[in-house]
Amino acid sequence: MLIVASSSIVSMMISLALIIACSVISKKSNLDREKMSPFECGFDPKSSSRMPFSIQFFLIAVLFIIFDIEIVIILPMIVTMKISAMTSWMSTITVFIAILIGGLFHEWNTGMLEWAN
């Protein structure tokens, strides 16, 4: 019991020290204002340095990452097919694929997959 208590106290102290160190290091000063301003070969910028970001592009990128991660989750299921019971494996795969297809239909119905509006 003493080992658990001492290890939890040590871990809390390390976490607190890291939080304090990060908050001290991340303080920004007024000297950073020049670094944050746009720079184009010494001239004033002709347009805004903060270009508007297409939210549709962001949504497509997030969808790509989500489906990419789902593929990574599906691949080990093929390896586990040999060592698991076929009924439990099929039910797991069926539920997983049904959730994926349901999500795809939801995204399709809400219009998230349409690039041009």
* Distances from the Cα of 85 to the Cα of 41, 73, 74, angstroms: 66, 19, 17
Q: How far apart are CA 81 and CA 9, in angstroms?
A: 44
Neighbours of 56 (CB within 10 A): 15
Q: What's CA 105's distance to the chain center, in Å?
A: 22
- Please state the rounded mean pLDDT for residues 22-45: 66
- Please state the rounded mean pLDDT for residues 43-56: 67
- Model confidence at 33, in pLDDT bands (50, 70, 90)? low
Span 102-111, pLDDT tens digits: 988 988 898 8
- pLDDT (0 to 100) of residue 43: 62
- How much of the chain exceeds pLDDT 70, in percent? 76
pTM attached to this predicted model: 0.48
35 has a pLDDT exceeding 80: no
- DSSP labels for 13-29? HHHHHHHHHHHHHT---
